[in-house]
Structures are given as C-alpha cells and as structure tokens.
Structure 1
Amino acid sequence: MLRELLAALLGHPGDLFHCQSVVASKGPHSTAADSIADSSGSSAADAGADADAGANAGARQVRVSRQFRVAEHLPLLHPSERDLCNRLLEIGAAYAELDHFASGRSRSPEGQGRQSLYLDALKTAMAVVLDEYREAILQLEKRLLSEPATQLSHIHYALSKFRLLLPYLLGLVAAVEAIKDAPSSFILDLLFTNLACGMPDVREALLSLFNAVLQVFYNQLSAWLLHGRLVDPYNEFIVYERDNNSAASDDSDPSLSETAIDWSDVQFGLRASLPSLVPRELAKDILFVGAAVRVLRGGDKSSSSKAQKITSCRITHDDEQRFAADLNHARSSEFRTSNLAAAVVAIRTTVASHLWALVSHNQGLSRMLTMIHDIILLRNGALWMLLLDDTSTVLCSTPTANSEFDLNAALRRAAVACNLDNNAEFAKCSLRLSPLENPSAAASSSRSLTLARESLQVAFQIDWPLTLFFSAAVMSRYHELCRFLLAATLAQRRLHTCWKRLADVRQPNLPVLHLRNRLAFICNNLLQYFQSDIIIPECAIFASTLESASDFDTVVAAHGLMLEQIARQCFLGTPAILRTIVEVWSACHAFCDAVVNSPTPPAEIIERITKVWWLSA
C-alpha cells in the first residue's frame, strides 16, 4: 500500500487511491488559492486598474481540478490512518496540478495556448522546485526497499515541508493564470508581493521563482538600455512599439505624449498599466534611455548625413562597459527598485550628455530657437507688422486656392524688408492654412471659423537631429501660443487701420471713436503684457539655462517649463479668462468689419460691442 501511496504522491493514483474531479472557483485548495488570488488582485490594482479587473475576473473563472482520496473499500484502515493518507494525497493532487503547469499542460482554460517569456521562465523554475519534491519521494522509496517496516507517520513527517509548499504554489498558479488581460510582466508583481511570507520554506521557493522570472525582465531591459533593441515577441515589456495610427492620436493628448517618444522612424511608448516594481517615473527614464541609445547607435535606417552626425557623438566602448556593469550590479543583488533606479539614472546621465552633443552641434539648436521665438512667439514685431499690413485683405476673407501662396509671398517680401531673406533658418519657415488643433478653442468662439486669419499657422521645416528636441508635442504647444498671440496682434492692427478711416471723416462719430480707443487700450496693454512681462523674460531665463547646459535632460526640462509658464501666464490654462479674451478679439473684429462697411455703424452693433467691453473691463 505504501508503494502505491508513493505513486499517488507522484500524481499516479491506482486502485487504492482514487482521483476525483473537483469544480472550484479559485482552485482546489481554497485557503491557499484564495489568499494568493486576493494578493494578486491587490498588487494588480496598485499597478493598474485594467490589470486588477482582469485578475479579479479571471480568478472567478470556473476551474476543474483533481482530488485524490482513499478508496472506500479498504475496511482494514484505521480512521486515523485514512485521515493521514488523505492529507498526504492532498500533496499528491497539488503536485499533479503543478506538474501539468510546469510541463505546459495547464488544465485551466485561461492558461492554454498562452505564449509568454515570463510564463515560460516561471514554468521552468517551477519544475526545478518540483525536482526537490520528486527527490524526496525517491528517497522514501529507497527507504521502503531497504526497510519494509517503514511507518506511514514517517512518510508524513518526511513530506511535512511540502504539505505547506505545494498547495501554496498551486494557489499561486491559479492567480497567475487569472492574469489574462494584463501583460505577463505582472507575474513579477504577484511573486514579489508574496515574498512577504512568514514560512521560510515557502519564501525560499517563491524567491527562486521570482529570480527566474526577474531574469527575463532584466534580459529585456538590458537589450533596450544597452542596444536600443526591443526584444519582446509577445508584447510583455513595459515599452512597446507604437504604430502610426496610435502615434497620431496620442500627439494631441499631453498626458500620453509624455509617455511616448517619436524621435525616429520607429516610435515607442509606455504601456498604460505598469508593474508596481517599476514606478512610472522610472519607466519614463527607461523609455528615454532606450530611445536615445537607439538614436546614438543609428538603430534606424539612417542616411549618410545622419550617420556622419552621429559618428562624433556615439556611445563609447567604455560607456557600454560601465552601463553593463551598473545593470549587472543591480541584477546580482537582491531586487530593490532603488538599485534599479540608480543604475538607470547613471546610464541616463551619460546618454543625455551624448544626445545633447548631437543636438547642439554647430549651434544649430540656438539659431533655430531664436528664429522660432522671433516668428512663432511674435518677438520680431517689425516683420509681423509688415506681414499683417500686406495680407490684411487675405486674412479677413474666405480662404481660396491661392491664399497660402499669397501669404507666403507676403512673408518673403517682409523678410526682405527686415533683412531676413538670406537667413538659413528663416528659409525653413512658411505659412499655411489649417483647421484649429484645439477644438475647444473653436467652441469658445461665437463666430463661424470661415476666415483665413482663424486658420493661419506658422510651419517650420525642422531637420534631424533638431527633431529630437522639437517633437510634435512641442511644436503643437508653439502653434497654440502663436495662434493666440496672432489673434491679438491682428486685432490690434485692424483697430489701428480703423482709426485712420474714422479720423478721415469730416465729422467723426465720437461714441464710435471712444469705443475704438477702449478696444485698442485693451489690445495694446494685453500685447504689452504678453511680450514684455511674459515672453521676453521667460525666453531670457531659458537662454541662460541653454548657455550653461551640458545635457539633453536639463534643456528639455527648461524648455518645457518655459512653454508651460508662458501658456499659464497668457491664461491659456484658465478657461474663464481665456473665453473673455477671445470674446474681446471677436468684438474687435466685429467692430472693424462694421467700420469697414460704414464709418457710422448701426447703433445695435455698437451697443453689443460696448457690452462686451464692459464685461471684459
């Protein structure tokens, strides 16, 4: 009977020990399985709501498992012996389930046909843990052969360690198979959470499983950080390759653009749900380093001009050795998020300095920044005054097929007058008519967007590697500021033109003149505030940072802060004030349209515009 008991403990019941199918919601061993599944649910909740929903939903799936029991037709067994055998058979049933999992023959519907590097590593490590159990059974069989009088209690004692371990691991497997709607990297979260265990044998086994799965993460991390390569055949790593459709839709969302990089032909982003082992700030550093290393290594199909620019800024062999040493140190020691973060930050510091050398080559960044600030932020007032005066008719009419051509021709004439016609950076500037990038801005205006001035946009052709700095998200913020400032400047110029028309009348309409002066007062002071108190000081602060900067991170952070401060102080982030300012611009244009039609506009139009002025005042 003891020989057949050992066979049952290896998952092969016979006539004396029967196998029964059991239907359970969280696994055959409710106590262990429930505790593990609950801990996995809380871990996934900390990492992401989507993973939590998937884990909890999967944990409630119906699970069919096996249970071994002593046959009822053995009357010679004492009740205590029968109970002892049944307790041992619980270990055998748990082993059978774990062996099916480790060999890739999962009985759970969620675990079948699932491909995962993390899951494969867990199965391999689980097989190693089960080898210890099989070795214990082998030693018991040798003892039975040498000492036939071995007692049942001795078998129970010899396997007491596994009576806690195997059911616990079975509960862990049930929780792993429940994580079906989240990347398999969440297995790391599950294992790491359960390391806080008061049972030494269980913790030792869990630690071996965790380290085995952690090696998969470190291998993917090393390939990404050291070589800029994404080794992720089953889409499990925290970084993923974005397609063009998702990249285009994410550019308009600032929260998403912060977790995505489009420096090259291939674009990368962070997954929405991250394991709790990798905080979001650390994940952003990992994304940045890998993308930067890919650029510095020429990971894309670079042209000869790109390759020539990269040559002087490539990562050296000594840098590579140091990066590998930092990662190996974090890998060899007990896992701590702080150790991993220290290694990533050290790599990022070096990579950022190389990237800055590439971007700032031959002062190209400084010249392009100066030109963008002069044109998009309207710091070159003389150029814009000439341009708006020359294109007032085009801007105040419905766009036609020739509108863009006329605008760019006027831009070139203004450039000649301002001695910018031979400027290489200015040659990359053009004007185009496009819809509003921000639909909320259109909704805040009471007028229909049918005029050229309402879709005017400044476009710059930015060459690589400056595209690393002037990303699509950055240029979108510049365009938003330009559209806002241009609306104010155009209103100011039209009011000035109206003053000439009203002053030429023999008997001026004093109420109309007073209203024009009040509107001009608002426009002049707002523009003076925007330029003198906001844009010029903020650009000066950024310029001082640019002169002393030695790494890419510092400049990007300072540039982002400059744009944020300008937008905030220009009330772009305050909807109530912004709506009032937009209404003032609309009132100015309505006033100018009325004056163009007649020096003495109808009283109802003047009254309506006066109300807007009082509300703004």
Structure 2
Amino acid sequence: MRCRDIIENIIKLGFYYRELDRFAAKSRNLSWIRSKNESPLSQTSEFLKETVGNQSVYRRAIANGIVEFLSIYRSAVLHIEQKLMADSLPILATVTQGLHKFLLFFQPLYELILEIERDGIYGGKLLNLLYKRSHCGVPELQTCIKRLLWHGHQVMYNQLTCWMVYGILHDQYAEFFISREQKKNSEHEPSHTNNIQKMAHVSNSDQSLSDWYMGFSISMGMLPEYIPVCVAESILFAGKAIRVLRNPSSSFRSVDVLTHQETGPQTYKESLRKKPSLNTTLTGDELLPQSEADKIESRLKTLQVYIHTKILSLLSVYC
C-alpha cells in the first residue's frame, strides 16, 4: 500500500471519529460541554434548540455503545503512539497494522448514524435497523452492531419490567411498542360493541377499568419485527392485568373502607374470617367479565412459556 493511501485512511478514521463523537455527544445530551468559549446563557439556549425533537432513550443507549468503541479506538491510538516513539525509525506500517480493523466498522457506523439522523429513527424502529444491520458477513462489524443492539435491548427490558411487573408505562418519548391511546372525537370513531360502551360508561368514574378497555394498545410502528404480535399482545394483557390488580376499583375500595369504619378493627377482623369462599359468585363493577379473565389467564400462560424458552436460549448463548 502506498504512503498516500495509508495517510488517506488515517484521515478517514479521524473524520469518522469526529462524526461518531458528535452523534454520541448530541444523543447523550452532552453537546453543550463542547463549547467552552461561549457564555453559559448562549450554551444553554443552543443546547435546548438542539435537543428539542431529538430526545430518545434508545438513541442515548446506542450512543453509549458508540462511546465504548471510541474509547477502544483512543486506547489503540495511544498504544501506536507509544510504539512509534520507541522505534528509532518510525514507519507507517505500524499505524496501518494497529488501525486497520477500525476501518472495517467505523465507516458502516458512520453510515448508520447518518441514516438515523436523516430518517429520524428512534425506539423500536431503531432496534429493527440494528437487527437488520447485524446480519452481515464481517465478523468485526457484526460484533459491533450486536453490541449496539444489546444496549438498545437494555432499554426495552427496563420498559418491559416496569410494564409487566408494576403495570407502569415508562415511556417518556413514545418509543415503546405499548402506548397509551389518545382520546378521539366520537364522531370520527367506529361504533363499539354494546359491552364496551357499557363498561366505558362505567369506567368514567373508575380509572382502572378505563385503562383496561381504552387505555393502552400496541404501537405496531414501534414493535420490533423479531417480536411476534401474539407475544406483544400477551405483554399488553399482562401489563394491563397487573395495573388493574395494583389499582383496584374505587367501588371496591370505598366498600372496604366503609366496612372497616362501621364494624371497627376487632369485628372487621372477624368479618374477614366469615368472608365467602372463592367459589361464591360475586358481582360488582370492580370485577372483570369471565371472558376477559379467561383471556388474561391464557395470555399469561403463553407469555410464561415464551419467557421461559427465551431465558433458556439466552443462558445457552452467554453461559
């Protein structure tokens, strides 16, 4: 390889490093640190302009992965610098040998961030993009993209935990495939069944039932392609069920409190012992229809089998 080609490759690496570092700083909301000569007021205003509309937890996670690779690159440059200073006659072959592997994935990473910024990709769409890019024939690049995908999955796993364990939708920038439904004008909506209309009317004074019937849905645009729709529906049902169980209906809470106040602490404990068995038929606005309960149970069983299989596959890969 000619000296000119070697120098051009070094220049390309410097350009790619600068652009990747810029994307990482912008996505991690640290771009205001770069301007040291500007006043704090101008830095703050510029920072707010840049971050409005560009906030994304998934982009921030990907940026953290890019920072890892840039750190490895800096360490390699430092090592090469030490070798060049130790040699009595420095040669460019030392630079080529130490930095050639970074050319294999710095350019694809640069093209990746260009596509992300140009098309405004975030959330589940970003996971789809990384998943597609991870299927390539270059082992170094494949390892790099899979590491970025791992960072993105950590965000999704945290959102899944909040939703399925606590019934909380932790999605500040609308990037999760479970989304809260927006209220629409009734004149533009299709007609619902009588059962849904009845329960929706009752749920005006009961937030838990409102959440169950009209609160949440699957955002197909943010659903990663490698997650089946049936699994997404199971996740949706599981989160809604946990949400309802953790926030019982107002009618149930009011009856419970009034009973405790009227009977007193001692007699209230005795009344608990005299409560009817589970086989007794109960009615009330706080209870879900039997069909919905059966559907929840079926979805939860499906979800349990899927999670068990997924955990076993992950353990076989990483252990």
TM-score normalised to the size of structure 2?
Answer: 0.66
Q: How far apart in 1 are the matches of 2:191 and 2:141?
A: 49
Q: How far apart in 2 are the matches of 1:284 and 1:102?
A: 34
Change (3 A) 1:361 1:219: farther
The Cα of 1:555 is off from its aligned counterpart by 9.1
Residue 223 of structure 1 contacts residue 230 of structure 1 at CA under 8 Å; is this kept in 2? yes
The farther-off stretch of 272-281 and 183-192 is 272-281
Structure 2 residue corresponding to 1:553, chosen from 270, 295, 300: 295
The Cα of 1:164 is off from its aligned counterpart by 1.0
Q: How far apart in 2 are the matches of 1:195 and 1:163?
A: 17
Q: How far apart in 1 are the matches of 2:118 and 2:151?
A: 20
The Cα of 1:179 is off from its aligned counterpart by 3.7
Q: How far apart in 2 are the matches of 1:265 and 1:198?
A: 50
Q: Deviations over 1:520-574 (max 9, x none)?
A: xxxxxxxxxxxxxxxxxxxxxxxxxxxxxxx6228999xxxxxxxxxxxxxxxxx
Matches within 5 A, 1:516-531: none
**In structure 1, the residue corresponding to 2:184 is in which secondary structure?**
helix
Amino acid at match of 1:101: F
The Cα of 1:279 is off from its aligned counterpart by 2.2
Q: How far apart in 1 are the matches of 2:154 and 2:187?
A: 34
Q: Deviations over 1:445-491 (max 9, x none)?
A: xxxxxxxxxxxxxxxxx72324x5689xxxxxxxxxxxxxxxxxxxx
Change (3 A) 1:206 1:272: closer
Q: How far apart in 1 are the matches of 2:230 and 2:109?
A: 33
Structure 2 residue corresponding to 1:122, chosen from 62, 66, 91: 62
Q: Deviations over 1:568-588 (max 9, x none)?
A: xxxxxxxxxxxxxxxxxxxxx
**In structure 1, the residue corresponding to 2:77 is in which secondary structure?**
helix
The Cα of 1:187 is off from its aligned counterpart by 1.0
Residue 125 of structure 1 contacts residue 209 of structure 1 at CA under 8 Å; is this kept in 2? yes
Aligned to 2:5: 83
Q: How far apart in 2 are the matches of 1:297 and 1:126?
A: 39
Aligned to 1:92: 14
The answer to whether the aligner puts 1:305 opposite 2:227 as a matched pair is no
The answer to whether the aligner puts 1:269 opposite 2:269 as a matched pair is no
Q: How far apart in 2 are the matches of 1:304 and 1:216?
A: 36
Amino acid at match of 1:303: S
The Cα of 1:112 is off from its aligned counterpart by 5.7
Q: How far apart in 1 are the matches of 2:82 and 2:127?
A: 38
The answer to whether the aligner puts 1:363 opposite 2:259 as a matched pair is no
Residue 469 of structure 1 contacts residue 556 of structure 1 at CA under 8 Å; is this kept in 2? no
Change (3 A) 1:303 1:236: same
Residue 125 of structure 2 contacts residue 224 of structure 2 at CA under 8 Å; is this kept in 1? yes
The Cα of 1:268 is off from its aligned counterpart by 1.0
5+ residue gaps, structure 2, are 33-49, 257-277, 300-319
Q: How far apart in 2 are the matches of 1:190 and 1:556?
A: 32
The answer to whether the aligner puts 1:286 opposite 2:226 as a matched pair is no
Q: How far apart in 1 are the matches of 2:238 and 2:186?
A: 19
Amino acid at match of 1:166: F
Aligned to 1:245: 184
Using the aligned pairs only, state the percent identity. 28
The Cα of 1:103 is off from its aligned counterpart by 1.2
Residue 251 of structure 2 contacts residue 286 of structure 2 at CA under 8 Å; is this kept in 1? no
Query: Which structure dedicates a bigger proportion of its chain to helix?
Result: 2
Matches within 5 A, 1:387-536: 463-466=285-288
The Cα of 1:165 is off from its aligned counterpart by 1.0
Q: How far apart in 2 are the matches of 1:555 and 1:144?
A: 67
Count residues with an aligned counterpart: 241
Change (3 A) 1:122 1:269: same
Q: How far apart in 1 are the matches of 2:172 and 2:166?
A: 17
Q: Deviations over 1:239-259 (max 9, x none)?
A: 1112332789656379xx9xx
Change (3 A) 1:171 1:470: same
Q: Deviations over 1:193-219 (max 9, x none)?
A: 111122111111111111011000000
Residue 183 of structure 1 contacts residue 237 of structure 1 at CA under 8 Å; is this kept in 2? no
Residue 181 of structure 2 contacts residue 217 of structure 2 at CA under 8 Å; is this kept in 1? yes
Q: How far apart in 2 are the matches of 1:268 and 1:246?
A: 17
Residue 65 of structure 2 contacts residue 148 of structure 2 at CA under 8 Å; is this kept in 1? yes
Amino acid at match of 1:463: D
Greater C-alpha Rg: 1
**In structure 2, the residue corresponding to 1:464 is in which secondary structure?**
coil
TM-score normalised to the size of structure 1?
Answer: 0.36
Q: Deviations over 1:336-387 (max 9, x none)?
A: xxxxxxxxxxxxxxxxxxxxxxxx974247xxxxxxxxxxxxxxxxxxxxxx
Structural RMSD (CA): 3.3
5+ residue gaps, structure 1, are 1-78, 310-359, 366-461, 472-550, 558-617
Residue 80 of structure 2 contacts residue 94 of structure 2 at CA under 8 Å; is this kept in 1? no
Q: How far apart in 2 are the matches of 1:364 and 1:249?
A: 37
The answer to whether the aligner puts 1:189 opposite 2:128 as a matched pair is yes
* Higher RCO (Cα < 8 Å, 6 or more apart): 2
The Cα of 1:185 is off from its aligned counterpart by 1.9
